[in-house]
Amino acid sequence: MTVPAVPADPDPEAAGRKRKRKRPCKHIFVTGGVVSSLGKGIASASIGRLLRNMGFSVRIQKLDPYLNVDPGTMNPYQHGEVFVTDDGAETDLDLGHYERFLNQPCNHHATYTSGRIYQTVIQKERAGAYQGGTVQVIPHVTNEIKCAIKVLAEPEVDVVITELGGTVGDIEGQPFLEAVRQFQIEAGRENVVLCHLAYIPYVRAAGEMKTKPAQHSAQKLRELGLIPDFLFCRSEHKLEKELRDKLSLFCNVPSEHVIELPDARTIYEVPLTMQKQKLEELLTKRLGLPGRECDMRDWKLMLQHIRKPKDTITVALVGKYIRLQDSYKSVTEAIDHAAWANRLTAEIVRIEGEDLERDEDWRARLAGVDCIVVPGGFGKRGFESKVMAARFARETGMPFLGLCLGMQAAAVEYARNVLGLTEAHSWEMDEKSPDPIVVLMEEQKDIADLGGTMRLGAYPCTLPRKTSRTSKAYGGREVVQERHRHRLEFNNDYRKDFEQAGMLFTGLYIPDPAEPERSLVEIIELRDHPFFVATQAHPEFKSSPVEPHPLFKALIATAYRQRMQAGGRTEAGEG
C-alpha cells in the first residue's frame, strides 16, 4: 500500500455519537534511555498483555523518529526484519512483538515515522492548508504526531500504548517527546502514564551495578518537561533494595514504581516478571482504571511448555542476513513457537548462504539438521544456496519449508534438476533466462518507485487439494489468509510440466473464478515427500506462542517424527 497520510484529528463529538465512552481513553508512553536494543518493544507488548488479561481493550503503536516514510526500503542490516500487517503496511519489527504478545493484529496506524509525519505536513503545505502561515515543528509537526497517537483511541479502546523509538537525547526524537509533553496536558495527567526504560550496567572492575546512566537519562527527560512515572530497569542482574531506593530518589519515581527487568530466559517471561512486581495494579491505579484480576493462566501454561521441553530439534535457516539476529525475527519466532507446541526446543542453525555455496562439504552441513527453512529475501546474493538447500531436502526427504523467495528458489530448483531445464531461473536474478520460472507480476511491470509498491498484506489463499499436507496442516480449511511482500510470482506457463512431474499446487490465489488461468500460485508441495511445502506468503507473520502457525507446526512435527523413526538424535542435536 502507498503509505497513507496521518488522519485528521478525530472529531470527539462524532466519536461520542458512535458510542459513549465510559471513561476517557488512557495512554501509556514507553521511552528508552542510555542505549538502544533494551527491549522497549517487548516491555510495551508485555504491559499490553497484562492489561489485556485484565479484560481491557488495548492497542499498541510505535512512533519511529527516522526519516524513512516506513522501513520498507531499508536493508535488514540497518533495521532488522520488515514486518507486514494485514492491511499491507511495511513496519518495524516491534509490531511483530505486539502481535505475538497480544495475539491480535495491528494495522497501519500502529506505526508512524518522522518521514510519514513530515510527508503529511509537506503535502498539506503544498495544498495550501496552512493558509499562508509559517510551517514549524511546533505546532504543525507536533500536531500531526498527536493525531497519530489519538487515532488509535477508538471509543471501544481502554488503553493505547505508544512506544517511542530511539533513545532520549536523539535529535530526531525531540518533536515526539515534545508532542508527548503537550499531549499529557491536553489529555489530562491522570490519563497519561510515562514509562522510561533505562539500562543499569554492571561494571565488572568495580563489581557493582551503576545507576548514573539511568539518572542522566531521566534528567534528560525532565529537561524536556517529562517526568517518568515508572522506571523500568534492564540489567543483567537483579536490583538490590539500596539501588532501587537510589534510583527512586534520583529519578523522581516512587520506589515501588522502579521495576526491575533482568535478563530473562525467554522474552515471554517478561509479563510475569512485571506481574510479580504488581505493575498492572500500579498502572491501573495510577490511571484510575477499575481494579481487576489479571488472569495469566494461559500464559503460564505456555511458559511451562517452553521451560520443560522433552527434546531438541535442529532447524537450518539458510539466508543471507544471517549475521544480524533480527533479520529473520518472525521466522525464528515462528520456529520456536512450533517447537514449543510440539514440546520441543528449537536449535536454529543459521547458515550464511554464501558460505554454503563455497563449502565443498555443504551436503554434510545440511545433513546434520532435522529440517530446513529457507526464508524470504531479495537479489542475487545467496540465491544459489537457497536452491541447494531445496535440492538437498527434495532428494533426501528432509522436511522443508520455503517462504516467499524460499518458494521461488524451490521452484527454480525443481525446473533445473527434475524437468531438466538447466538454465531455469527467476527473472529477478537473470532477466535473460530461457526458462523464467519466476516472473515479475503483471501489475508490477510499470512500477518505478520502491516504497510501498509490492504486493503487500493479506490475501485469501484457496487450498484445493483436501489430501495434501498443506491442507492437513491447515486443519482442512478451504481458504486461509496469509500476508505477502513480493513483486514476482510463479510463471503459470510451467504449471502443467511441474504437475506432471509430481509437484502439487496446493494453495492458489484466485482473483476471478471465471479465469482460473490468472490464479497466482501461493503454495507448492512435493507429492512424494514427507513434508516439502513452500509458500509465496509469509506465514511467519501470523504465528504467536499461544497460536503457533500450522505450517511451522507441521514442519517440526514431521521432522521430529522422522528423527524418532530413524532412531533418535541427529549429530547436530548431540553437539
Residues near ligand GLN (CB under 6 A), total: 10
Residue 487 in contact with ligand GLN, rule: CB under 6 A: yes
- Least distance (Å) from ligand GLN to the CB of residue 404? 3
Nearer to ligand GLN, 153 or 429 (CB): 429
Taking the complex as a whole, how short is the minimal distance between the CB of residue 551 and ligand GLN, in angstroms?
Answer: 15
Window of 88-96, 275-283, 360-368, 376-384 that interacts with ligand GLN by CB under 6 A: 376-384
> Among residues 166 and 376, whose Cβ is nearest to ligand GLN?
376
Is 371 noted as a catalytic residue in this protein? no
| Residue among 151 and 387 whose Cβ is closer to ligand GLN | 387
From the list 190, 189, 211, the residue with the least C-alpha distance to 200 is: 211
Q: How many CB atoms lie within 10 A of CB 396?
A: 13
Contact 470, 525 (CB under 8 A): yes
- Identify the active-site residue in 280, 294, 540, 549: 540
Among 377, 399, 436, 548, which residue sits at the site for ligand GLN (rule: CB under 6 A)? 377
> With respect to ligand GLN, which residue has the nearer C-beta, 469 or 487?
487
Interface with ligand GLN, residue 549, by CB under 6 A: no
Euclidean distance between CA atoms 16 and 134, whole angstroms: 33
186 by DSSP, 3-state: which? helix
Q: Which long-range contacts (CB under 8 A, 24 or more apart) does 379-383 make?
A: 379/428, 379/429, 380/428, 380/429, 381/320, 381/353, 381/354, 382/319, 382/320, 382/352, 382/353, 382/354, 382/357, 383/353, 383/409, 383/426, 383/429
In this chain, which of 485, 549, 553, 563 binds ligand GLN, going by CB under 6 A? 485
Q: Which stretch binds ligand GLN (CB under 6 A): 71-79, 307-315, 374-382, 472-480?
A: 374-382
Contact (Cβ atoms closer than 8 angstroms) between residue 172 and residue 114:
yes
Q: What does the alpha-carbon distance between residue 385 and residue 363 come to, in Å, rounded to a whole number?
A: 11
| Per-residue binding letters, 38-77, with ligand GLN (x by CB under 6 A) | ----------------------------------------
**Cell of residue 196, nine digits:** 522510561
**371 binding ligand GLN? (CB under 6 A):** no
Q: Which of the ranges 45-53, 232-240, 266-274, 373-381 carries the binding residues for ligand GLN, by CB under 6 A? A: 373-381
State the catalytic residue, choosing from 196, 257, 538, 549: 538
From first CA to last CA, the distance across the chain in angstroms is: 45
Which of 494, 506, 496, 374 shows the shortest CA–CA distance to 439? 494
- The number of beta carbons lying within 10 Å of the beta carbon of residue 130 is 13
DSSP, res 1: -
Residues 428, 378: contact at Cβ < 8 Å? yes
> 488, 521, 554, 556: which one contacts ligand GLN (CB under 6 A)?
488
360 is catalytic: no
Among 21-29, 154-162, 252-260, 481-489, the segment contacting ligand GLN (CB under 6 A): 481-489
Q: Could you tell me which stretch among 50-58, 97-105, 375-383, 521-529 binds ligand GLN (CB under 6 A)?
A: 375-383
Residues in 380-439 at the binding interface with ligand GLN, rule: CB under 6 A: 404-405, 428
- Closest residue to ligand GLN, based on beta-carbon distance: 376
Quick one: 488 or 523, whose CB is closer to ligand GLN?
488
Q: How many other β-carbons are positioned within 10 Å of the β-carbon of residue 212?
A: 12
Q: Identify the CA nearest to 421 among candidates 441, 437, 397.
A: 437
Closest approach of ligand GLN to the CB of residue 464, in Å: 23
Residues 6+ apart with CB under 8 A from 567: none
Q: Residue 538 catalytic? A: yes
List residues with catalytic annotation: 404, 538, 540
User: Under the rule (CB under 6 A), what is the footprint of ligand GLN?
Assistant: 376-378, 404-405, 428, 485-488
